[in-house]
A and B are shown apart, each in its own frame.
Chain A
């Protein structure tokens, strides 16, 4: 029984086919495409003000991108499982503040104090989302407000014990070694490695993707979803706390709105990097490039000497365009 003969290809379908193949290639190597975009931005900067792109400039970019990159790591983890964490900024600020007010206890102790905030808030988020099935957007919204409010009250009580940023934290946030490698990169790199390998090569990583893709399917396969989600939000909280320590090292002043400016960019970096906001798809490699792109973008806008309002508008517009291009690609 012979099938009907294939009809002659419609006009223009050859072009369509090769465009389709190109898109397919792009889709599978989105991180590479993003790197190309990053290089374009950097090239753009060099063209606008020749001589800007020097090794020092590059290492500064990495220095500034690291806190965002670490925040984006946690955000990637929860977005992969279909959630979001709007409390990361408050956690980062609180962690920095707590560390600073306990700096008299010595390096290890004060860092532990800082991390404890991340652990605590992460646990609360985890219990809410994983056990009580609250929607992550609302849950983390609430805990974010709660954390920030608690911090304000705490800071009032702490007027006596003024916060002090220890010198090792300062060097973490703003120092460099070996003639240009930012110290926070020395922290970011291992974190990035662990997250990248963790997502690709561990059972837990697979489960983050799986839970984000279809929670019920995981249940039917015997996965205890609440354990996965709880771990997810705790990890995100811890990473936010680490990011806070790096941020405060960069600014050397622990104030109440320290990390606020990082909240939306942490989400933006992950989105630009190709992780779906609904979960089940994406990864940290893209988020890293996303964080770098956002930092370079910031630098570009500063270079253009644009007034604050214009910078904000351009920032938003460019992120929107990137996200839209990305959505077209993966649809």
Chain B
């Protein structure tokens, strides 16, 4: 129950990093017993604001009042003591220590953490296990349990559902609701609109380092929030192109990529499907169903344990990404950090694959390169203002550069692994539109998305991966969220009556 007591009020927060202004005048007001969403496009300043609230950075201007007292945190330790604790996307756990040691580090009692872990579904965790040996979703839960155990007044949760299966996310929401009932508050950051409407009471929207609005998150507020995040014109312009036409798959033409009985590691057991030129094939799956291994094998990043990969009728043996690229298969990974050259310019990032072969180690044809790179940049509408180093660009622009890299080289099949994860809505829509364009121009596109509503918007067909196998295949018209979700859990879709 949201009272009117204000637990935290940040106003006119400003922060600049050298010459880049991250926040101009952001404000945020959180009431007791409230789940408050913090929303904004990438580059709007959300994570900077959060880091200031939790003491990782110090603000250049503005102030923060917690429970009536003015505070200014110089370190996460100070913020913790004041009851402001955050749970970030990557768990703040030290890999070479055991879980118990990590708890001691944060001065948190192991028993309390255990209780929370039971609530979160891992009652038998061995606290003597080394963090390095535990799987990623477990680490996120430990991080959350540890934060809860320190009994914070305000809990900040940043994109926690990004890599968790749906049932786990539900548990976490349950815990957040219980927390709210105790009169505590949660600041919730997520790009998933559905979660925000379901879980949060109000939302503060940032754009370009300013707070542009605060609204209730009742049903129907989604479009309003999108408008605030993007600015009115952009939000409505970008909506075009989201209605999908059901294309029929190519008939007797040989598939651009065919996978037969592919096996890899523990998680990928037996996957077979065909991908045709000119279509976008979507893959839906919960966490850990083998989709990462699948993409890694097709892209040549990992060696397969069994099965076949056939490109244009010829079986392939990939031992290095260069082999896959040579066969026309290129990968856009989910995690930009994997593929970016942070200190190099946009141009060098885009041109990188051109020099992979020994025969390209010699002198570069600078004007031809400039032409190629410019074309790709224009096509993707990349904002090139902060051109000196890629790390200065916003997340959405960085991802666009990763895609531009392949536009500037040649490819036949584009493998997109969750390309819009953690990206703002405006950029997402641009990327969808581009994917459709590329398919229309003859490319074959394999797209894995962790956000089910995306799939019918972008794809022609969809397959669902469960337990390392393909359990269902459908045309885009039938790939609604409910069907996909059920199939992802291994449930046979209701419509699948006759053969």
Contact = CB atoms under 8 A, between A and B. Distances in A.
Q: Do A and B interact directly, with beta carbons closer than 8 Å? A: yes
B344 A222 contact: no
A201 interface: yes
B335 to A, nearest CB: 10
A133 to B, nearest CB: 15
B348 A209 contact: yes
Interface stretch (B17-25, B98-106, B144-152, B461-469): B17-25
A220 B341 contact: no
B356 to A, nearest CB: 4
Nearest to B362: A202
A28 interface: yes
A65 to B, nearest CB: 28
A166 B374 CA distance: 55
Interface residues of B, number: 52
Interface in A308-326: none
Interface in A1-46: 1, 3-4, 6-7, 10, 20-21, 23-24, 28
Interface string B336-348: 0111111110001
Nearest to A279: B343
Nearest to B364: A201
A235 to B, nearest CB: 12
Contacts of B351: 206
A24 B18 contact: yes
Given A3-B212, A10-B61, A222 B361 contact: no
Contacts of A203: 354-355, 360-362, 364
Nearest to A214: B341
A178 B364 CA distance: 36
A218 interface: yes
A231 to B, nearest CB: 8
A210 B339 CA distance: 11
B232 interface: yes
Given A10-B14, A221-B405, A1 B231 contact: yes
A168 B352 CA distance: 44
B475 to A, nearest CB: 32
A222 B356 contact: yes
Interface in B209-262: 210-212, 227-228, 231-232
A20 B344 CA distance: 21
B24 A6 contact: yes
Interface string B193-209: 00000000000000110
B379 to A, nearest CB: 19
Contacts, number: 120
Given A3-B210, A203-B362, A221-B352, A210 B24 contact: no
A224 B323 CA distance: 10
Given A202-B362, A203-B364, A220-B331, A7 B344 contact: no
Interface string A260-287: 0000000000000000100011000000
A224 B366 CA distance: 23
A9 to B, nearest CB: 10
Contacts of B361: 202-204, 207
Contact of B338 (A216, A222, A223, A276): A216
Residue in A214, A221, A227 whose Cβ sees the most chain B Cβ within 10 Å: A221
A171 to B, nearest CB: 33
Given A4-B212, A210-B352, A221-B352, A227 B358 contact: yes
A226 B90 CA distance: 30
Most buried by B among A24, A207, A217, A223: A217
Nearest to B19: A20
A273 B453 CA distance: 52
Interface of B: 12, 14, 16, 18-19, 24-25, 60-61, 207-208, 210-212, 227-228, 231-232, 299, 301, 320-322, 324-326, 331, 333, 337-344, 348, 351-356, 358, 360-364, 366, 388, 405
6 nearest CB pairs, A to B: A203-B355, A222-B322, A222-B356, A204-B361, A222-B325, A213-B341
Given A206-B351, A280-B344, 4 more contacts: A20-B16, A210-B348, A214-B340, A220-B301
Interface of A: 1, 3-4, 6-7, 10, 20-21, 23-24, 28, 201-204, 206-207, 209-210, 213-214, 216-224, 227, 276, 280-281, 331
22 contacts: A4-B211, A6-B24, A20-B16, A23-B18, A202-B361, A202-B363, A203-B354, A204-B355, A207-B361, A209-B341, A213-B341, A214-B341, A217-B340, A219-B301, A221-B356, A223-B322, A223-B353, A223-B355, A223-B356, A227-B358, A280-B342, A280-B344
